[in-house]
């Protein structure tokens, strides 16, 4: 069975990897960013070859998916400036990670994928860890770099699992 919206997790993973790579220095950050773009592109190509565009969403699910995406974008866009008003701007990335994690819960029921529940929980744990680091640490690497890149890896792994790429790799190895 082909998954619906097979490119969702790889694209989200690429966005979060980019957020994390921005926290690194110019030289290292560029190399890490290029590696993340390569992984995202490789996953999308593999998924495209394997599943095409995926199964169509059930009736009404496309509108629900768009609404969830819209709410996430609005909340993430508002989090930074609003947290900056109360001198908690360093929490913007952990809050955005938490919003993304919470959004994966309704997506799990929409796409009928339990792996998205685990990914949402992992993103919430990353957000809480990043918030603790943000309030206790002066730099940006831990709350932005670590949270962003770890969230990217979690989303890439869930996308590979949901589409069957991990199972295929496991059978090839044996």
Overall pTM surpassing 0.75 (yes/no): yes
Torsion of CA 75, 77, 78, 84, to 10 degrees: 130
Q: What does the DSSP 8-state code read for residue 11?
A: H
Q: Specify which residues 55 forms β-bridges with.
A: 4
pLDDT confidence band for 1 (50 / 70 / 90): low
Q: Is residue 3 part of a domain?
A: no
31 lies in a domain?
Answer: yes
Q: Which residue has the higher pLDDT, 61 or 152?
A: 152
Assigned domain for 41 exists:
yes
> What percent of the chain shows pLDDT beyond 90?
59
pLDDT at 147 over 90: yes
Nearest-angstrom CA–CA distance, 74 and 168: 37
Least confident of 44-53, 77-86, 123-132: 44-53
Q: Cβ(11)–Cβ(43) under 8 Å?
A: no
Nearest to 32 by CA among 142, 116, 145: 145
Q: So what's the pLDDT on residue 5?
A: 77
Q: pLDDT for 35-71, tens place per residue?
A: 999 999 999 998 888 878 878 888 888 899 999 999 9
For the residues of 67-135, what is the DSSP string, one character each? HHHHHHHHHHHHHHHHHHHTT-GGGHHHHHHHHHHHHHHHHHHHHT-THHHHHHHHHHHHHHHHHHHHH
Domain that holds residue 72: 8-173
**pLDDT on residue 68:** 95
Q: What is the pLDDT of residue 106?
A: 95
How many domains does the chain divide into? 1
């Amino acid at each position: 069975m082909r998954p619906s919206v097979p490119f969702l997790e790889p694209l989200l993973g690429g966005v979060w990897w980019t957020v994390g790579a921005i926290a690194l220095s110019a030289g290292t950050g560029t190399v890490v960013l290029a590696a993340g773009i390569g992984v995202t592109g490789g996953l999308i190509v593999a998924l495209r070859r394997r599943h095409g565009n995926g199964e169509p969403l059930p009736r009404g699910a496309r509108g629900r998916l768009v609404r969830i995406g819209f709410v996430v974008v609005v909340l993430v866009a508002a989090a930074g400036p609003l947290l900056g008003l109360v001198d908690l701007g360093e929490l913007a990335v952990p809050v955005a990670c938490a919003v993304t994690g919470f959004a994966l819960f309704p997506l799990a029921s929409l796409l009928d994928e339990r792996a998205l529940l685990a990914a949402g929980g992992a993103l919430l744990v990353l957000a809480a860890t990043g918030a603790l680091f943000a309030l206790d640490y002066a730099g940006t690497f831990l709350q932005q770099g670590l949270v962003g890149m770890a969230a990217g890896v979690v989303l890439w792994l869930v996308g590979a699992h949901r589409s069957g790429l991990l199972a295929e790799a496991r059978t090839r190895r044996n």
